[in-house]
Chain A
Amino acid sequence: MSKVSIDSVVKALRKSVWVFHLNSGSCNGCDIEVLDALTPFFDVERFGIKLVASPRHADVILFTGPVTREVLPKVIKALRAMPRPRMVLAIGSCAVGGGIWYDSYSVIGGFPKLKKILMEEGIIIDRVAFVPGCPARPEAIIYGILVLLGVMKPKSKKEVVTIE
């Protein structure tokens, strides 16, 4: 079997992606911003992005929240139901780094930590884009989707400054 690179698959996906909204214990701030991005005001349907009701139909998961312990089995179930390539857009501070609950006992602490659990479960996530913001602006979500699909190049880079 020949190896297919993720980039070529994403290129094929670029025609029109369907998204599924997955809330893993978010405060609803990011969820409202996701809805705002879907409404005619910011209108992500310009890019062919459409909200679907099942992860089985989805190409991208809009992931919000810090992954509480209660919701963890359901999140794993939803991500397993998704067809390959699995692409995830982690939206908001909670999904990116755990947010204000990063060291709480009742949360896993964001998508990077969940990814390790998913690896143990045998679920491969092909590509993740992180969208910081508390909540992330609808524009930031649109920018994040475009970064995820490779239309735009990410701007932010790691900065190290040494001071005498």
Chain B
Amino acid sequence: MKFLKLFVVAKKAGTVTRKYPFEEPLITEEFRGEIKIDPEKCIGCGACTLICPPNALTMRDEGNVRLIRYFVGRCIFCGMCAEVCPTNAIAITKEFELATLDTDDLLRDLLHKRVKCRICGRPFLTTKLIKYANKDIPGSDNYADVCPECRSKLSIKNILKYRGDLDV
């Protein structure tokens, strides 16, 4: 009759089974799920793509656009991108119900428009990144819409002009 003690133990413990699809999941405060990039705050600097350990966040420049792609399927949910973002555009959500039948559904794309260089006409940086840089460094507007190569040429030209070595 010793086994009857089990009923007492079982009654004390009660039912522990979670009725998950029919009730709220067990999620703690610290849980990190899918990240969400705020398109209004994102400046397209690519800091998150450099820090991302499995390269779930990748950056690619294609003509006039800069593509920032987040592939949830490779993300390890470490949250380092949210830490490193200069404008706090990345928020960590509690979303974990990400199961799909196709890996294409796990892609999140952000397309940034790139500014064309004033002199050579090649696209180089995103519009928002230049605005962000101009806010912190006053007086940089003259060189803001010039690509790095043209910028060095332009600054040397200006120095030579100042010293009087160049006749323009």
Do the beta carbons of A147 and B99 come within 8 Å of each other? yes
C-alpha gap A134/B72 in the complex (Å): 11
**Which residues of chain A from 121 to 163 have any CB-CB distance to chain B below 8 Å in the complex?**
127-134, 136-137, 139-140, 142-144, 146-148, 152, 154-163
With A40-B17, A140-B98, A160-B111 known to touch, is A132 a contact of B105 (CB < 8 Å)? no
Do the beta carbons of A146 and B21 come within 8 Å of each other? yes
Do the beta carbons of B100 and A133 come within 8 Å of each other? no
Closest to B24 in A: A139
Which residue in A132, A148, A159 is a CB contact (below 8 Å) of B109? Answer: A159
Do the beta carbons of A96 and B103 come within 8 Å of each other? yes
B58 CB to nearest A CB, Å: 11
Tell me what chain A mostly uses at the interface: helix, strand, loop, or mixed: mixed
Do the beta carbons of B21 and A43 come within 8 Å of each other? no
- Which residues of B are found within 8 Å of A129, using beta-carbon distances? 99-101
- A99 lies within 8 A of chain B by Cβ: yes
- Which residues of A are found within 8 Å of B97, using beta-carbon distances? 139-140, 143, 155-156
With A130-B73, A156-B105, A158-B107 known to touch, is A163 a contact of B39 (CB < 8 Å)? yes
- A65 lies within 8 A of chain B by Cβ: no
Do the beta carbons of A133 and B103 come within 8 Å of each other? no
C-alpha gap A42/B21 in the complex (Å): 10
With A130-B106, A146-B21 known to touch, is A163 a contact of B76 (CB < 8 Å)? no
- Which residues of A are found within 8 Å of B76, using beta-carbon distances? 93, 99-100, 134
Do the beta carbons of B77 and A133 come within 8 Å of each other? yes
Do the beta carbons of B54 and A99 come within 8 Å of each other? yes
A38 CB to nearest B CB, Å: 12
With A134-B77, A154-B100 known to touch, is A139 a contact of B112 (CB < 8 Å)? no
- B71 lies within 8 A of chain A by Cβ: yes
C-alpha gap A164/B113 in the complex (Å): 5
C-alpha gap A140/B98 in the complex (Å): 8
Closest to B67 in A: A160
With A93-B74, A140-B97 known to touch, is A112 a contact of B16 (CB < 8 Å)? no
C-alpha gap A46/B107 in the complex (Å): 32
Which residue in B20, B72, B104 is a CB contact (below 8 Å) of A132? Answer: B72
Closest to A98 in B: B74
Which residue in B18, B99, B127 is a CB contact (below 8 Å) of A130? Answer: B99
Do the beta carbons of B103 and A100 come within 8 Å of each other? no
Closest to B38 in A: A161
12 A–B contacts, CB within 8 A, in A order: A96-B74, A98-B54, A130-B73, A130-B101, A132-B72, A132-B75, A132-B99, A148-B101, A156-B106, A160-B111, A161-B109, A163-B113
Residue numbers of A with Cβ under 8 A of B are: 40-43, 46, 93, 96-100, 102-103, 110, 112, 127-134, 136-137, 139-140, 142-144, 146-148, 152, 154-164
